[in-house]
Amino acid sequence: QVQLVESGGGLVQPGESLRLSCAASGSISSIYTMGWYRQAPGKQRELVATMTDGGSANYGDTVKGRFTISRDNAKNTVYLQMNNLKPEDTAVYFCNADVRATTWARTDYWGQGTQVTVSS
């Protein structure tokens, strides 16, 4: 019923920037927390950034100061501005949303992921 679609990934050189977007659609009443996680090959999935519906942000230690999360609640969309990208940022970035559906069920949803590659 609910789908998350990420966009904006790609190949960039170290020091460059990317902006990711994730739009939620379907039978949504509200989204409490929305954010980004990433997973590199052979690594565990890790927190990048999350934001509550009230605007409270939480960042992973490795991206603090370089990445900025934002939300447009009216559009059910979350963004991730990634500046000063480093090779260690290379990963598949997954959108996550804590969704209250129109059925009133509260469920975590995940997007399909978008690849970010930082390489010279």
Per-residue model confidence as pLDDT tens digits over 100-110: 999 889 999 99
Provide the residue type at 36 as one letter: W
53-102 pLDDT, tens digit each: 999 999 999 999 999 999 999 999 999 999 999 999 999 999 999 999 99
10-52 pLDDT, tens digit each: 999 999 999 999 999 999 999 999 999 999 999 999 999 999 9
**Residues ≥6 apart with Cβ < 8 Å to 15:** 84, 85
